[in-house]
Structure formats: C-alpha cells, structure tokens
C-alpha cells in the first residue's frame, strides 16, 4: 500500500451479495467483502476474497470466502465511539459506507473517513438549519441545484465525522473539519466524499462482477 494514497473500492450491493439472499443487512456485508477484496489486492496475506481468480468469485461461490468473512469479523474491533478497526493491523485504516444500492470501502495507511449518499429531496428546512452553519446554508440556497449542494455538504460532514471516529457526538454546524477532502461520483445521483487529516491521492476501483457462465 503506497503512503499518501486512499484506495476506494466500490461495487453494487446486489452483485456482491447475490449468494447471500438470506442476509438481513446485505449493505454491510457488501462493505466487508469490498474490504477483503481490497486487502487482498493490496498484498495483505491472510485476507482473501478470491481476487486472483477473478472478481466474480467475490460473490460467494469461492470456497474460502465465508471462512475469510468469519476471520475478518473476529478481527474487527471498535473504538470508544464505535469506529471499527482491524486488531493487530495498526498500519491499516479503513472506512465503509453504503447508499443507493452501492457500497464503498476506503483503505489507507492513514486514518480516513468516507460517506456516500444518494440524491434525495431534503425533507425540511429545519434539517438544513440543524446540520449546516450560516455560510453553508447560504451556499445551499444560492446553488443552482440546492438538493445536490446539500447532499455534497452532508457527505463532506459525514466523512469528517467518520474520520474522527467520534460518531454523532458532535454538532455538525460547529464541528472541526480536516484540511483535506475529495468528492467523487459513482453515478449521476450518487455522490461521495473522502476525508483525511493529511493531503492524499485517491484511487477509485469500480468493481463490477463478471456474470457466471451458464
């Protein structure tokens, strides 16, 4: 894993969890599968999702994938405010998000936070007032597409919160924000943001699973 780089793995929940129809929270499962995929691709031994056999194997038909998931879940711990981390791997930082039928997982050697949100109508003006400061509220009102601007700012704030690891124990209007962030789009109405305390490059891996042979 190259220093100063945040690797972003993105995939469709339906594709990545098609062998887990019984799973109640397929969005979270997709995130864990993307984490396994990324760890294997980045050369971490002991973590496998069948990457070397083609991304179609990540969908669950690779014999070792379920065992790998169990091992991953055993290694996942949570910080004081609930942010997950991999016990025994202090050089690995990751963060997961899902929305609009997609999952994403950011992996880096530096602490990072990621959030994605599907563009939806803002439910009320009160929601904007509770989450945005005065400058941001003006920015939203003056934007050509106010809904899009609100969602962008929301993902920015969420990625900062997830970076800090302090959860929602912060006022979104006055919270301290890091110096570095980058936006990305997975599709027209699905925006995301990655945040870090230090300058970084972002490499996006859009992973589309191959169809099984008939």
Could you tell me if residue 145 is inside a domain? yes
* pTM (two decimals): 0.89
* Domain harbouring 80, CATH code: 3.90.470.20
How far does the chain reach from its first CA to its final CA, in angstroms?
37
Is 60 exceeded by the pLDDT of residue 133?
yes
Could you tell me if residue 213 is inside a domain? no
Could you tell me if residue 15 is inside a domain? yes
Q: Measuring CA to CA, which residue among 11, 161, 6 is closest to residue 83?
A: 161
Could you tell me if residue 212 is inside a domain? no
The whole-number average pLDDT for the span 76-81 is: 90
Q: Is 78 helix (H, G, I), strand (E, B) or coil?
A: strand
The whole-number average pLDDT for the span 78-90 is: 91
Could you tell me if residue 122 is inside a domain? yes
Give the rounded percent of residues in the chain with a pLDDT score beyond 90.
68
pLDDT at residue number 50: 55
Q: Picking from 81-95, 101-115, 173-187, which range would have the lowest pLDDT averaged per residue?
A: 173-187
* Domain containing residue 172: 5-207
**Mean per-residue pLDDT of the chain:** 88
Could you tell me if residue 214 is inside a domain? no
Total domain count, the chain: 1
């Amino acid at each position: 894993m190259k220093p100063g780089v945040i690797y972003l793995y993105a995939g469709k929940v339906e594709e990545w969890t098609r062998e887990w129809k019984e799973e109640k929270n397929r969005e979270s499962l997709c995130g864990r599968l993307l984490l396994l995929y990324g760890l294997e691709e980045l050369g971490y031994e002991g973590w496998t999702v069948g990457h070397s056999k083609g991304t179609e194997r990540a969908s669950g038909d690779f014999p070792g994938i379920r065992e790998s998931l169990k091992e991953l879940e055993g290694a996942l711990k949570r910080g004081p405010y609930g942010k997950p981390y991999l016990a025994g791997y202090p050089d690995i930082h990751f963060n997961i998000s899902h929305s609009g039928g997609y999952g994403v997982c950011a992996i880096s050697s530096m602490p990072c936070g990621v959030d994605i949100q599907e563009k939806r109508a803002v439910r009320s003006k009160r929601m904007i007032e509770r989450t945005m400061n005065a400058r941001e509220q003006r920015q939203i009102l003056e934007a050509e597409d106010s809904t899009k601007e609100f969602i962008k700012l929301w993902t920015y704030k969420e990625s900062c919160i997830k970076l800090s690891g302090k959860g929602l124990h912060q006022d979104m209007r006055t919270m301290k924000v890091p110096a570095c962030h980058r936006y990305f789009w997975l599709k027209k109405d699905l925006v995301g943001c990655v945040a870090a305390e230090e300058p970084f490059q972002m490499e996006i891996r859009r992973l589309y699973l191959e169809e099984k042979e008939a």
